[in-house]
Structure formats: structure tokens, C-alpha cells
Structure 1
Amino acid sequence: MFFLLGSFYKIEAQEISQISIEQANQLARQNYPMVKQKDLIKQTANLNIENFSKGFLPQFTITGQATYQSDVTRIDIPVPGFKIEPLSKDQYKVLADVNELIYDGGVIKQQNELQQLNSEVQQQKIEVELYKLKERVNQLYLGILYLNAQKEQVALIKQDIQIGIKNMEARVENGVAFRSNLNILKAELLKNQQRIIELDASQKGMIETLELFMNAHLRKDVVFEKPNIQSSSVEPIINRPEIKLYTDQSKMYDHQSKIIKARNQPKASLFLQGGYGRPTFNFLKNQFDFFYIGGIRFNWALGGLYTKKNDNQLAQINKRTVDLEKETFLLNTNTQLKQQQSEIDKMNLLIASDEEIIALRDSVKEAAKAQLQNGVITANDYLTEINDEDQARQSLITHQIELLQAQINYQTISGKQ
């Protein structure tokens, strides 16, 4: 019983009764599968760095061999009272080699730093993809707001039609109007109800899609908050995730020169080699025995010096390519911002004009309402005025949503959170 109550409470806790566009984007981001890749990238980088760092630990190698050779070194000079036994042609050896790096020219350090930079680049690529999710969520959210406004407008039209029906019914009962006029109004009311059915179905599909993105359940009476966008005359600072991606990539190519330099440095290591076999280091002793040797090794691979200059140039070319991509991105982004600002200015002018048109249409409709009641005009004439006002209000709704869309696009393009 307690388990069932707990499960019921958990389901209820997931329901949302009021939501904003910022909350919708936040929930969609948290639920998007791609966001989990960031942790995997970080774990991969940490494991690689840990592996690189183990390069300074002693490295053990065990080898063994058994050979037979056609001849061996012999000393054929007779020495009175001393006999030198020749080596056996079958020889055996088991070696244990321990090598510990003490100086690598900075290769491991630079590899660790490069791995960290690469991890940041990969994670930022995820951020770029996640940012595209905002556009999809914003479109869904604004689509739902648009349908809400449409439903409110349809409800207003329904009231006007019902008022007309009530007046016409009274006139029909008094014998001063034809029933056909009443039927015209009733048919229009049915069409109005059909519009509500269509709008509800469209909105239901959008809400269900938004729920999938957010992994949350929206109540039937959920309130979608209208975004409050503050306009600013100040030139925006572009803060898109792509900018950081270009910066991270540039840092990574800058670091390539450090890697190239480190790889061409001399290396030094300690070594210890021990084993058991025949012959040992004493070739005059043809017996199985233990042996060992230890010391310090120094090596400097000079082959990389041939390509060092070209390698550095390639790194700089890659860096320059990234810089040009960044410049192109900024140019395109600023162009898009100019277009969106022009769209915002246009919509503000259209909305102001819409409001004037609605005021005029509303006054004409109210006059038509009185004329219908007095029998001066027909039901069709009355519906014409209602539809004209409806078209004006539909135009206002469309322009208001388009203004919101342009304002949100402006913020999204600039990277404003």
C-alpha cells in the first residue's frame, strides 16, 4: 500500500502546471542523450592522461631464447697447465630487462596537456550540438503559444455568434425574421467549433512532442508563460558555443608546436638487465649461471629534425584555418542579427497598425450587432463584420508571435542565455 502511494506521489511530482521557455530548454537539455557524452569524453581524457603519466614508471620486459649455431669462438693456442674449454654450440638465455625513463624532453607533459585540450574541444562540440536543440524547443514553445492565442480568438468569435443567435431567435419567435437567417448563424457556430477541434489537435501534438524532449508530463491546464524579451539598442556580444570551440581548437593547434619540440629532444633512462643462461658475460666459462648489467641510456632521434619545420608550418596552417572559420562565422552571425533586427522593427510597425485596424473593425462590428437586433442587416452581413474583425485579430496574433520569434531568434543567434 505504501509502495503504491509512493509511486503515485512520484508520478504527481513529475507533472508541471506552469512552465516558461527557459525551463523548457533546461529540461530538454538535461534529458537529451547527447549530454551524457560529455562525461564519457571527460572519463576518456582522464584515463589517457593517467596512461601517459605511467610512462615514467619502470618498464619490465622478459625474453628468452634457445639457439644452436654452426660454430663458436675457440682458442687453439696451447697453454701449459691450462685448458680453455670451447663454448657449446647450443646456447640458452632468459633475460629480465627493467627500463625507467628519467627524462623524455617533456613529451609526456605535453601529451597530457594536449589530451586535456582535445577533451575540451570534444566537449565543446557537444555544446554546439546541444545549442541547436534550443531552436527546436523554441519553435515548439512558440507554436503552442500561437495556438493558445488562436483558441482565445475563436472563443471571442463564438461569443459574438452566440449573441447573434440569441437576438435572431427572439426575432424569429416574434415573426420579424426568417429562420434561414438563424440557421446561417448556427452553421457558423458549428464551423467555429470545428476550428476549436483542429486547434486542440494541433496543440496536443506539439505538447506531446515537447514532453518527449523534456521527459516530463504537462498537466492539461498547464500555463505556458509568455516570454518577456527586453529589447536593447546596445550592439550584442556574440557568445555562441561555436566561438569557444574555435578558441579551443586554436589552442590545440598552438600546442602542436610544443609537442613537436618535445619529440625532438634527447631522452635518458636508467636500465637494469639480468638473466640466467649459458654463456654468461664471461665467455671463458661454459656453464649456466646468473648475470646482470645496469647503467644509463641516452638516445636522441635526429630524424624528426628533417620534418620539424614542415610540421610546425602544418600546425600554423591548421590554426589559421580555424581562425578563418571563426571570422566567417562571426560575419554570418552579424548578418543574421541585422536581418532579425530588421524583422523586429517591421513587426513592431505592423502590430501598431493591427491594433488600429482592430479598433475600427470592433466599432463596425458593434454597430452591426445593433443593426442585426433591429433587423436592419441580415445574418450574412453580421457574419461578414465578425469575420473581418476576426481576420484583423488573427493578423495581430500572427504578428505578435512573429515578433516573439524574431526577438528569441536574435537572442539565440547572439548566444544570449
Structure 2
Amino acid sequence: MKKIRFILIVMISFSAFSQQRLTLNECYSLVEINYPLVKQHQLLAQQNQLDKEIILNSKLPQIHLDAQATYLSEVIQIPIPNSTIEPLNNDQYRATFSVNQLIYNGGLTDATLKVKSGQLKTKQKQVDATIYQLKTQINQLYFSILLVQENYKLIEAKKNLLEIKLKEVQSGVKNGVLLPSSDSVLEAELLKIKQQFIEVESAKSSLIETLSSLVGQTLLSDIIFEKPLIQTQLQNEINRPELELFQLKKEEIKNYEMLISKQNSPQLNGFATGGYGNPGLNMLDNSFQTFYTLGLKLHWNVFDWNSNKKQQEAVAINKDIIENETEIFKLNTNIELNKQQKEIEKISAFINSDEAIIELRKKVLKTLDAQLKNGVVTASAYITEFTNLFEAENTMLKHQIQIQLAKANYNTIKGE
């Protein structure tokens, strides 16, 4: 399923780039694929697999080969007169081949495997939570680019209007209706607009470069960033990956409690040893001999001075700590949601005021436009009001982008 999802996302991404368009959701998807931290999913899985194989090896026969040569300063002698039993040699040799097989350990191996599986899920979810937090950075970059992109269009519209007005003023100057310097004021304003274009293009290039690094994909400077229409449901129902992480930590603690309960279970092992040495098992035979032993060994830690019980109590405290962390996370998240909700309400009020301000500025500019044609006001007065209108439109544009950013952040904080 993950492979199919990966292919679909890549197809969407390349389709978007071929059309020179990119959406906010595609940025989210690209981060989930290309951000370097994503590689830890596979690395953690490989590490966990190796750990499990090591644990499972405890169920396999354990084989040992030992060899030793020793010299004893004194050996056992038989104090019987005229005995034909030769004393042992001071130099002794022994080589053994041993096999130990675990027969029963009370489910300790299976409990250990379950702990390892729980640890893998927790670590991978921690990676997911860290990557999810990058969405806030993507929101900031994406909407900053949108603001620059829309600002460019606004400057371009301003330039076109000024070029039209410049032709009218130049005609008025030529016919003696306007002062000779009137067109110079407009030309200077057009030069300022060229500087604004350079500033906007530089800002957009820098932002796109930063976003490219974050999503792990080269984004062309002329790519069009789609304006998302973000809807929010103002309710504090949180669905963040951090909450899943806390739940997995709780499950991991349950697994660890089970492991602790198995630690004092009786363990039964079978063993077999074959060897060759001097002396062998018969200490009275002073020659090289082959020998073997077979048997069962039971180990049971009957009394551990309440160590096991104290371990369980320590784990129970960890469970309370995670519960506390969960409550703190929910509290902080709800505070952030309330802040974003207030921000959305504030910007909405600003936009309503912006619309009224722009309408008033347009009326004033329309009056000055007629007066400029008749030579009643100077071009400087016209440019001043024209700039006021541009700034009012730019302010509303900024607020429109800001409210979408606030909504995107609200959804991100909530976990949508």
C-alpha cells in the first residue's frame, strides 16, 4: 500500500512540475517522501530485525569449543604402599565440545520480542511526529511565496496603470495643459516600480530555494504556486501523530511489564559435552581418554529481594509520566488552537475594513485623476494618492494571504 502511495505521489509531483504548478498538499507529500529523516523508517526496521534475530538465536543450540593445558604444582597421590596406581601428571590437557539447548524459559523470549516490536513502532511514530511538525515551516514558506507572487501581480497592474497615465500626462504637457515636470514625477515612480520588481523577484527566489531544500525537490523559479482555499472547522478535536506516539509508549510499557514478570520464571536447559584429555573423567587413569556428559539444568531465581517488584513499580511511574505528558500536550495544543482562532477572527475584521478603505481610496483617486487632466492638481499629488491606493490594496492582499496561513496553521495544529 505504501509503495502504491509513493508511486502516486511521485506521479502527481512530476505532473505538477511539467505544468509548472504546485499545491500546498503536494509540498506536504514531498516532505513525507524526500526529507532525510524519512530514511530512518527503513534503518529502524533493519535494526529491529537484527535485534529480533539475535533474540531468536537464544532458542537455537549454543555450541562451545574449549581447550586448555595446565601445569599443577601438586597432584593427588594415593597413599597406599606398593600401589600400582600411578600418580597424575603435573601437566594436564583437555579439549571439550559442548552443546546447550534452551528448553523452557517461561515465555521470556517471546516477551522480549514483543518489547522490541513495540520499540520499533514507537521510534517510527516519533519520526512521523517530527516530520509532521515540518508542516508549519512549509505553511510559512508556501504562503510567503504566495504573498510575493500576488504582490508581483499587483505591482504589474500598478505599472500598467502608470504607463497609461504617463501617456495622458505627456499629451497634456505637450498641449500645454500640464506643467512640463508632471511627466517626470510619473517616470520616477515607474523607476521605483522596477526596483520593486527586482526586490520581489529576489525574495521569491530565496523563498523557493528554501522550500526546495525542505521538500527535497528542485523547484523552478517560474513555477506557479496554487492559492489554496482552506476551510477550517473551529473545534478542538485533536488528531495529531504525537497522540498516537503517546499511546504507543503506553503499549510499550505494558510489553515491558510483561517482560519483567517473566524474568524470574524457571529456565530449563539441556546440555551435552564431549571431550578428550588427560586425565579424563576417570581420575585414576593417567592417560588420554575420550569422555562425554549429558544432563538437564534447572535455574530458578526463587528470591530476588523484591527487585522484580521494584522494577514494576518504576515502570508504573513511567506510565503516569506519559499520561502527564499527554495532558500537557493537549493543553498546549488547545492554547495554540485558541490563539489561531483569535488570529483568524482578527484578520477577518481587517479584511472587511480593507475593502471599505480601498473603495474610498478609489473614489479619491478618481477625483484626482479628473483634476490632473484639467491641470488643477499636480502629478505629485496624484502619485501620493495612487500610492495610498496601492498600499491599501497591498494591505488587503497581505491580510488575505495571512488568513489562509492562519487557517492552514490551525488545521496543522489540530492534525488535519
TM-score, normalised to structure 2, is: 0.91
Whether the 8 Å CA contact 1:254–1:316 is kept in 2: the answer is no
Distance 1:381 1:262 in 2: 88
Q: How does 1:63-102 map to 2 (within 5 A)?
A: 63-77=66-80, 83-102=84-103
**Aligned match of 2:406:** 406
Number of equivalent positions: 403
Whether the 8 Å CA contact 2:185–2:379 is kept in 1: the answer is yes
Partner of 1:179: helix, strand, or coil? coil
Q: How does 1:87-166 map to 2 (within 5 A)?
A: 87-166=88-167
**Aligned match of 1:3:** none
Distance 1:105 1:131 in 2: 41
Distance 1:13 1:243, change over 3 A: closer
Distance 1:76 1:176 in 2: 144
Q: Deviations over 1:201-241 (max 9, x none)?
A: 111111122223334343454221111111324x2431222
Partner of 2:306: helix, strand, or coil? helix
Whether the 8 Å CA contact 2:125–2:241 is kept in 1: the answer is yes
> Could you tell me how far 1:145 is from its partner in structure 2?
0.4
> Could you tell me how far 1:415 is from its partner in structure 2?
1.2
Q: 1:24 aligns with which of 2, 27, 34?
A: 27
Partner of 2:133: helix, strand, or coil? helix
Structure 1: which 5+ runs fail to align? 1-10
Distance 1:72 1:194 in 2: 102
Partner of 1:351: helix, strand, or coil? helix
Distance 2:397 2:97 in 1: 83
Partner of 1:216: helix, strand, or coil? coil
**Aligned match of 1:172:** 173
Whether the 8 Å CA contact 1:25–1:137 is kept in 2: the answer is yes
Whether the 8 Å CA contact 2:16–2:22 is kept in 1: the answer is no
> Could you tell me how far 1:181 is from its partner in structure 2?
1.4
Distance 1:137 1:411 in 2: 13
Q: Percent identity?
A: 36
Whether the 8 Å CA contact 1:164–1:372 is kept in 2: the answer is no
**Aligned match of 2:393:** 393
Whether the 8 Å CA contact 1:372–1:382 is kept in 2: the answer is yes
Partner of 2:260: helix, strand, or coil? helix
> Could you tell me how far 1:317 is from its partner in structure 2?
1.0
Whether the 8 Å CA contact 2:17–2:223 is kept in 1: the answer is no
**Aligned match of 1:297:** 297
Q: How does 1:154-303 map to 2 (within 5 A)?
A: 154-233=155-234, 235-302=235-302
Structure 2: which 5+ runs fail to align? 1-13
Q: 1:33 aligns with which of 36, 41, 53?
A: 36
Question: Does 1:374 find its partner at 2:377?
Answer: no
Whether the 8 Å CA contact 1:341–1:410 is kept in 2: the answer is yes
> Could you tell me how far 1:414 is from its partner in structure 2?
0.9
Q: 2:53 aligns with which of 50, 59, 78?
A: 50
Partner of 2:178: helix, strand, or coil? coil
Distance 1:71 1:177 in 2: 128
**Aligned match of 2:348:** 348
TM-score, normalised to structure 1, is: 0.91
> Could you tell me how far 1:93 is from its partner in structure 2?
1.3
Partner of 1:218: helix, strand, or coil? coil
After superposition, the CA RMSD in angstroms is 2.1
Distance 1:286 1:297 in 2: 30
Q: Deviations over 1:298-344 (max 9, x none)?
A: 01134645311211111111121111111101000001001101111
